Structure 1
Amino acid sequence: MKKILTLFFACALSMAMQAQTKHNVYVWVDGEKTLIENADSITFSEPTTPPAGDEEAVDLGLSVKWAQRNLGAENPWDFGTYFAWGEIEGKDNYEWATYKHGTSYNQLTKYVSSVGYGLDGFIDNKEVLDESDDAAAQLLGNGWRMPTPEEMQELIEDCTWEEDYDMGVGGLRVTGPNGNSIFMPFAGRMYGSILFQSNASGYYWTSSLNEKANVQAKYLCIAPNGQEVTCYNRYFGFSIRPVKK
């Protein structure tokens, strides 16, 4: 981009110095060269920068807009960061010993609505993540958050899902009713310090607890043979695909 702008600037200076002379100008956009013949002037507009986060909001024709890429990823095909449910940072090891909200299935210290899961009988009746524990809300701001199970189910039921590859990475192309699409890679899941099932399946957290078995939270599982919203242990490292209104 800097080289292209330098070329344009040089052309502009040349034309300013020779106001009566017309020039042929070559323009490169994404590697494609276009010839503009007999140009007598060049005008640069002010660059436009979308508000933070808005450049990734894809309208699929659903109740919410979906991010183009996983939380922590640089590109749609990148796996991104893995998060334990209710944590806002990635880490090296995903197990009970490192989990923020408890050290065992029956020693949870937050998000407990059923007897038998809280430390020393603790219950707070929280079944949806507080904003302070929502990784998408904390890391992106600007209205982004983790999806609900209902929004994940809407994604399953109202979109078409096709196995696809982006930069050699396997995943599913999710196309909404309006024809727009997002790519969800098979990013696998983290257990301990080991990544399992990458390029085979994907695991995407929702913001909701499993109200019957509080050791677990709800997530979207995607694979070549189908998709479903189900539950798994909270301390595992899963992906997050943010949403916003």
Structure 2
Amino acid sequence: MRKILLIMATIFSLTAVGQVNMTVYLSNGEVKVYDKADVDSVTFGMSGDTDKYNGYEYVDLGLPSGLKWATCNIGADAPEKYGDFYEWAETEPRDRYGKGNKYSSDGSSLKYSKYNKDDNKTLLDPEDDVAHMKMRGAWRMPTLDELKELFNQCQCSVETAGDVKGFRITGPNGNSMFMPLAGYNMGESISKRGYKGIYWSSSLYEDEISSKANTVSLFDTGKFRFESLNRSFGCCVRAVIE
């Protein structure tokens, strides 16, 4: 955890022998005393841009909604790692993408037994939300509107972390996160890795047959685009909490 504890008061006091101490009163009631000679600087607020919830690191980008974003893709243990691919409404990676989605009622990817015109469901239920099922607690997938807030409110630039190309997304408060261009999976092969990254939202694309869900596509040119994609594509997921 890189978040500095909020300091309620900082007092420099002279001792009987003239030594200068710094007494720090923490918000949890603890009192800590430091020799001033050992103190280089005092920082109030946050030293970095991340904290943890339920064991997973998140970043507060200063978005108007207050939404916090996970620092890693689901299935990754570092921001520059790609993570796993998921079909929309699936909660486990697949060996082969594009056929056999659990809600594909006819085996084709054109007719679905859930999230269709009959049930009028337009957002994933918790049991079909991979972020909630993997990370638990309040973690979930972002809606399309929340993806739009992220990319419309933040500054985006392309950078390379290690040997992985991705988007550096910097929020209104100056905090940032990295989203790799992991590509996508259809069939058994990964396409466009290093050139494009596709991230699912939890929002169904409401077309005539409800075979698509909403995504954001990131490109190595620094551009992004909100698109609808067939549910059976394997794409990345980045989780959020409120």
Identify whether the pair has TM-score above 0.5, normalized to the shorter chain: yes
Gaps of 5+ in 2: 1-37, 39-50
Report deviation, 1:50.
5.4
Supply the distance in 1 between the matched residues of 2:205 and 2:191 (Cα, whole angstroms): 23
Contact 2:52 2:58 in 1 (8 A): no
Match of 1:143 in 2: 138
Q: State the percentage of identical aligned residues.
A: 39
Supply the distance in 2 between the matched residues of 1:51 and 1:174 (Cα, whole angstroms): 21
Report deviation, 1:142.
2.1
Report deviation, 1:125.
1.1
- When the two structures are superposed, what TM-score results if normalisation uses the length of structure 2? 0.74
Of 163, 179, 193 in structure 2, the residue corresponding to residue 184 of structure 1 is: 179
Contact 2:111 2:211 in 1 (8 A): no
Greater share of residues in helix: 1
Stretches of 4+ moved more than 3 A in 1? none
Specify the SS of the correspondent of 1:138.
Answer: helix
Q: Cα deviation per residue 1:152-202 (whole Å; 9 max; x = unaligned)?
A: 001111100001011110001000000000000000000010000001110
Match of 1:27 in 2: none
Contact 2:199 2:215 in 1 (8 A): yes
Supply the distance in 2 between the matched residues of 1:147 and 1:83 (Cα, whole angstroms): 15
Specify the SS of the correspondent of 1:73.
Answer: coil
CA separation of 1:95 and 1:105: change in aligned 2, threshold 3 A:
closer
What RMSD, in angstroms, separates the aligned Cα atoms of the two structures?
1.6
Greater share of residues in strand: 2
Of 235, 238, 243 in structure 1, the residue corresponding to residue 235 of structure 2 is: 238
Count of residue correspondences: 187
Match of 2:154 in 1: 159
Supply the distance in 2 between the matched residues of 1:222 and 1:100 (Cα, whole angstroms): 27
Match of 2:3 in 1: none
Match of 1:83 in 2: 86
Gaps of 5+ in 1: 1-38, 40-48, 114-122
Larger Rg: 1 or 2? 1
- When the two structures are superposed, what TM-score results if normalisation uses the length of structure 1? 0.73
